[in-house]
Structure 1
Amino acid sequence: MSSKLIHSHKPFFTKMVVDAVLHLDQEELNEKMIGMKKVPGGAMQDSLFIDGVAFKKTFSYAGFEQQPKSFVSPKILCLNVELELKAERDNAEVRIEEVKEYQAIVDAEWNIIYEKLEKIVATGAKVVLSKLPIGDLATQYFADRDIFCAGRVATDDLNRVVKAVGGAIQTSVNDIKDVHLGSCDRFEERQIGGERFNLFQGCPQARTCTLVLRGGAEQFIAEVERSLHDAIMIVRRAIKNKAVVAGGGATEMELSRYLRDYSRTVEGKQQMVIAAFAKALEVIPRQLCDNAGFDATDILNKLRQKHAQGGLWYGVDMTTESIGDNFEGFVWEPALVKTNAISAATEAACLILSVDETVRNPQSEQPGQGGMPPRGAMGRGRGRGMMPRR
């Protein structure tokens, strides 16, 4: 939430992110059930939280405007079937001897598409969605029967609709039963900015939501999307793992103090290793000070003093340009995130230190240098590449 673009709207987007995560199934917390759609134009405060699935209106054919745009508790059919009139004579060689045989072929093509449409209408579905195109003939056919249809629906959107409303994506129009259909409390098509959106609200099968992001330019909206995605993942992690620690370098300073004290109880070279690890942890608060333009040396000296006196959660305070109790100031981080970060950094450092030396392959030298490198350049590991310590 501290991004330069959305920092001034932090309360607005914070509530939206928390509501979105709490709206999910609290056992799974599947972040894929949160959709984010970008609509250029308007202010960032015009962004919407929609309880359900929403996606942009797909490409429409003639007859689309005659279709109803709102339903209450409709049956929803999701297909992976193309509903367009196909001229099979263009895809295959057909030999005929009489004109009436040609007419029979043309009639068969029309009968195939009409048979598909009749079977769809017979299911009782009022909203028909398909991954594949739904042509002008099918669009007008559905409009005459008060059915809404949308073709070329994106795979991600259609999958989210199926999870939310129930049913399953059908690859054939034959033998479709009620168990294959989904339902929601309300379906409508609504104008949002310069775009038309199809909204499925009150979905019974899965808890899902959609964030419609507004902004003046594509770059701004893209930055908002990235910031909200990071925030959603942190909130999701915090709900799954309820243990939290103070941020702002407080945890690293306390660990550094503990390890520095512990190193004095260890003899031999291990004492230097532990002390170096403790000093390395101070990089986090120092970097925070550098990024904020504070005097890092002065801040770190104050933090060392506070933590030596038992100030467990004291870290860098960005508002006062000094130090403060970040736990009381609600600067929190999930404990699991902190654990994973320190573990990953430790493993990377151990991997680098385990490399004895690197040897350059003579064949990779630049043209004109020619010949073998001096013996001293090869070192002890000649021909061995990167050799880990034993």
Structure 2
Amino acid sequence: MVDNSVSRGSSITSETDDEPAAWETNMKAGQQLAEVIRTTLGPNGLDKMLITSDGKIIITNDGASILDRMNISNPVANLVVTVAEQQDSKVGDGTTTAVLLAGKLLSEAETLLERGVHPTAIARGYHLAASHAADALDDWTVSIDFDDDDRLREIARTVVTGKWDESGTEFLANKAVETVRAIERDGRVGFERITRKTIPGGSFYDSTVLNGLVIDMNESSTDVVSPETGLPRRYDDATIALIDQELSIDKPNGIGAVDLTSYEDYQALQDYERDIYESHADAITASGADVVFCQQSIDDPVRYLLARAGVLSVERTRRDELHKLARATGSQPVTIEELSSATVGTAETVDRRSVGPTEITVVSGFDEFKQVSVLFRGGTEHVAEETKRMLDNCFYALKLAIEDEAIVPGGGATEVGLARELRTFATGQAGKEQLAIEAFADALETIPRTLAESSGMDPIDAILELRTAHHDGASAAGLDLQTKSVADMTERGVLEPLYIKRRAVASAAEIATMIVRVDDNVSVTGDHGTHEHDHDHDHGPSGAVHSTEGYPWAVGHSMGH
């Protein structure tokens, strides 16, 4: 049994006491990682405390978040982690499903190997099963109206359920749909139109969606200069200038000091600097700009002169934000010499606000290139980051659902249906590949089994009831974790994008097949040139070449013997 808390220095290593066969070591490494994920990250479990190797305490129930921080040295377990990383980076959700399925596929493969099934037959059977499952997934798609915001909220709630309480889940689902709807254009969702900022120091429920592009003023090393008259907090119908250089005085290279022999020399230097600063300020005001964003620093005299003219100056704007401003406002990032009325852009409003301890500027009012910004709040930076992670997952799911126009029932309904389909498919196959396809079907049912365990249901009874419901034609029957019963997932609004499910199954099958085909673990050192090819090696019981240094690498059947 694996403890539900992940303690300091938690690791999965490649060390064994009895030197088992290579395939057995590999299978158990993958299974061990999947077991940690299953017991620690049950899909409807509670938050877990993670103590990292540097003593930092993290509380999370997100699979990708914990895997990012686990200390894993076994190369096979790292391959399984790669599945999770790719799942998270490509589709934003389904991490736990992918790892659980990969681990169960390895467990089933171990059983088949002990029964004498050759690894090639297992790999071929898994490949056939994954291909057939990918084709069969289309049969479980649910037709919905993607103009219906209630349906989109159901998809977002399915992503968050089990990772937040009920009110928090509803709040995040509403914010996710509000954000995606704001940037959707003709059935396409462009993430480049979303700006995400984490601002600690407030309630989780203070997270908000703003129309416009948010610039974090605290990222600048200096404050906005306000003379006695004060700069306005809001600019309407603002003209925007973007400067892609430092507004300072050029300093000659190789000169560390300036020698002044008289007061006249000092005065001349002062006049020179003042002329440069005034020319910078005059160029900006002559362009008609109300607000200037500079990618580098702005010297204080320039900022003061601009403030006297009523121009808001923001220095050290991040380059990605500068590009977003350019796309949204129509302005061009140029040098001060190139700045003119032809290179500036416009915004409906530029509004300076205080959000907790952070000063922000919201640039809004774009039509063609609408931008929205999501402010993730929380009492601590970690809470704000977890909120961001959850909403990012929702954004991915909604994007895939809207663009692909394909969703499938959740709650284990799709996995049970696929398992039933694969068992039928297996009967038509000759050879031992049939056993591997049936094993693949059994592995798919680990998802509803884990759901049942984590919600307090009897997993055996739950699986039997699901099989019976699907046999009777209820293809959307899954587990309702709130009522602890089998129900129609489409009616209950438990829905997942088809692409997330398809990728999780394909990725798990691919990595399991790769590991199954490994027949030897070889430790390779970097010292290749000092030995003759035909010298003796010290071989262990598994046939692996042992060395005091080097890294274990997997050598597959395709390399020969």
Which interval holds the TM-score relative to the shorter structure?
0.7 to 0.9
Q: Which residue of 2 aligns with 1:300?
A: 463
Residue 322 of structure 1: CA displacement?
A: 1.9
- Superposition pairs for residues 236-275 of structure 1, below 5 Å? 236-275=399-438
Residue 37 (str. 1) matches residue 197 (str. 2): yes
In the alignment, residue 300 of structure 2 is paired with which amino acid?
D
Deviations 1:65-115 (A, max 9, x none): 722221111110011222245676994566777764554344223222221
Decide which moves more: 105-114 or 304-313.
105-114
Change (3 A) 1:180 1:205: farther
Residue 6 of structure 1: CA displacement?
A: 5.5
Residue 333 of structure 1: CA displacement?
A: 0.8
Residue 46 of structure 1: CA displacement?
A: 2.2
Q: Residue 286 of structure 2 contacts residue 340 of structure 2 at CA under 8 Å; is this kept in 1?
A: no
Residue 74 (str. 1) matches residue 241 (str. 2): no
3-state secondary structure, aligned to 1:74: strand
Residue 48 (str. 1) matches residue 211 (str. 2): no
Decide which moves more: 116-125 or 96-105.
96-105
Deviations 1:249-290 (A, max 9, x none): 111111110111222233322321221121111111112222
**Matched residues in 2 for 1:179 and 1:17: separation?**
38
Residue 298 of structure 1: CA displacement?
A: 0.8
3-state secondary structure, aligned to 2:385: helix
Residue 385 of structure 1: CA displacement?
A: 6.6
Q: Residue 69 of structure 1 contacts residue 189 of structure 1 at CA under 8 Å; is this kept in 2?
A: yes
Decide which moves more: 53-62 or 238-247.
53-62
Q: Which residue of 1 aligns with 2:294?
A: 130
Q: Which residue of 2 aligns with 1:168?
A: 332
Deviations 1:278-314 (A, max 9, x none): 1111111112222223211110011111111111111
3-state secondary structure, aligned to 2:521: coil
Task: Specify the structure having the higher radius of gyration (Cα).
Answer: 1
Change (3 A) 1:204 1:176: farther
**Matched residues in 2 for 1:330 and 1:13: separation?**
16
**Matched residues in 2 for 1:196 and 1:210: separation?**
15
Q: Which residue of 1 aligns with 2:543?
A: 378
**Matched residues in 2 for 1:262 and 1:377: separation?**
36
Deviations 1:158-184 (A, max 9, x none): 3322222221211x1123233421211
Q: Which residue of 1 aligns with 2:346?
A: 183
Q: Which residue of 2 aligns with 1:195?
A: 358
Q: Residue 254 of structure 1 contacts residue 307 of structure 1 at CA under 8 Å; is this kept in 2?
A: yes
Q: Which residue of 2 aligns with 1:358?
A: 521
**Matched residues in 2 for 1:284 and 1:64: separation?**
63
In the alignment, residue 138 of structure 1 is paired with which amino acid?
V
Deviations 1:28-79 (A, max 9, x none): 5232321222232332222221101112324215436722221111110011
Deviations 1:216-248 (A, max 9, x none): 222221211111111111111111111111011
- Superposition pairs for residues 138-149 of structure 1, below 5 Å? 138-149=302-313
Deviations 1:117-146 (A, max 9, x none): 111110000001112122321122112211
Q: Which residue of 2 aligns with 1:348?
A: 511
In the alignment, residue 35 of structure 1 is paired with which amino acid?
T
| TM-score using structure 1 length | 0.88
3-state secondary structure, aligned to 1:230: helix
3-state secondary structure, aligned to 1:13: helix
Residue 23 (str. 1) matches residue 186 (str. 2): no
Change (3 A) 1:344 1:111: same
Residue 189 of structure 1: CA displacement?
A: 1.0
Q: Residue 376 of structure 2 contacts residue 385 of structure 2 at CA under 8 Å; is this kept in 1?
A: no
Residue 321 of structure 1: CA displacement?
A: 0.9
Q: Which residue of 2 aligns with 1:367?
A: none
Decide which moves more: 252-261 or 49-58.
49-58
| TM-score using structure 2 length | 0.62
> What percentage of aligned pairs have identical amino acids?
27
**Matched residues in 2 for 1:332 and 1:236: separation?**
14
**Matched residues in 2 for 1:289 and 1:78: separation?**
56
- How many residue pairs match? The answer is 380
**Matched residues in 1 for 2:208 and 2:202: separation?**
12
Q: Residue 362 of structure 1 contacts residue 372 of structure 1 at CA under 8 Å; is this kept in 2?
A: no
Change (3 A) 1:216 1:379: closer
3-state secondary structure, aligned to 2:430: coil
Q: Which residue of 2 aligns with 1:14?
A: 173
Change (3 A) 1:112 1:228: same
Q: Structure 1 unaligned runs (5+)?
A: 365-370
In the alignment, residue 414 of structure 2 is paired with which amino acid?
T
Residue 330 (str. 1) matches residue 330 (str. 2): no
Q: Which has the higher contact order (CA 8 A, sep 6+)?
A: 2
Q: Residue 61 of structure 1 contacts residue 135 of structure 1 at CA under 8 Å; is this kept in 2?
A: no
**Matched residues in 2 for 1:48 and 1:385: separation?**
48
In the alignment, residue 321 of structure 1 is paired with which amino acid?
K
